[in-house]
Amino acid sequence: MAQFMDYMISPKPLRVVDLTLDPAKLSVRSLVIRNAGYLPGRTHYRQGAVFTHWAIVYIAGGSGTYRVNHGEPQGVTAGSLFLFQPGVHYDYGPDPDGFWDEYYFTIEGTRLQEWLDHWPFQPNTVMHPGEDASSQNRIDRIFALMESGTPANADRASLLLESLVYEWVQLCQASPSGSKSARLAPLLEALSATLHEPFDAAAFAERHHWALSTLRRTVSEYTGFALHEYVHRLKMAEAKNRLLNTEQTVKEIAGALGYSDVFYFSRLFKKITGEAPQLFRKNMRSVR
């Protein structure tokens, strides 16, 4: 991933990864990530910006505003999501003397029109799916896949981005405060925060004021997985990131994710991912 300094944008190093392949080499051509960027500590406010491609922007920290075609400014906070579309004028950026941490994905393909036609998208409105560790894990994974420079991983990155955006949009449809759906985002965030400890469903439910049966039913309805399996899948997603991006042993990763039995961890990893941990590390690193 390219890393460079641009003090006009941020005092921190910026990271950008571009698609270096001919899109004709891809198997997933209906949704292509042209480039992805991470702008930590962005201080630059941009006025009158017009883009040639669609882009998805997620703000992980800080605050600011977003304005479309000189309309009313919309507030942006950590956990905000908004789009750029071609040919539209945008004014956007952090508050004066402030900052925000920005992730963006420039995309193209016919799949985008399906999102707009059939998903509850609001193209010119700031949406607020919120913050959670699972989203951050998937964003990091998208960047790692893009950086590998292989067609298969570029395809995986696009599919993972679509899955992430879908979940963000669904979270934005939560009912007013006090309903079960309005509690979904903090619930998922709390579950993501259990990655580094053994998971006790009853203790978790009591700590977060859920009836255990309601907790299980809500997670199953939203994710399609039983509560414990969903937590295991969150942990295995983090395990994949560590296998790919660190030199930790399988035993060390298992322990860091709350598994005292490395053999049990390895069986779970293979069941969920289809590969043993060491084989996953070997195969993924061989294509980077």
- Mean pLDDT for the chain? 89
Q: Give the model's pLDDT for residue 130.
A: 85
Higher-pLDDT residue of 137, 80:
80
Domain 181-286 classification at class level: mainly alpha
Domain 2-171: give its CATH superfamily. Regulatory protein AraC (2.60.120.280)
DSSP, residue by residue, the chain: -EEEEETTTEEEEEEEEE--S-GGG-S--SSEEEEEEEEEEE---EEEE--SSEEEEEEEEEEEEEEETT---EEEETTEEEEE-TT--EEEEEPTT--EEEEEEEEESTHHHHHHHHS---TTS-B-----HHHHHHHHHHHHHHHH--HHHHHHHHHHHHHHHHHHHHHTTPPSTTSTGGGHHHHHHHHHTTTTS---HHHHHHHTT--HHHHHHHHHHHHSS-HHHHHHHHHHHHHHHHHHH----HHHHHHHTT-S-HHHHHHHHHHHHSS-HHHHHHHHHHT-
Q: Give the model's pLDDT for residue 5.
A: 55
| Mean pLDDT in residue range 239-254 | 91
For the whole model, what pTM was predicted? 0.62
Q: Give the model's pLDDT for residue 3.
A: 54
pLDDT digit string, tens, across residues 3-59: 545 568 888 989 999 998 998 999 999 999 999 999 999 999 999 999 999 999 999
Share of the chain above pLDDT 90, in %: 62
Whether 2-171 and 181-286 share one fold: the answer is no
Confidence tier at 1 by pLDDT (50, 70, 90): very low
pLDDT of 119 > 90? The answer is no
Domain chopping of the chain, boundaries: 2-171, 181-286
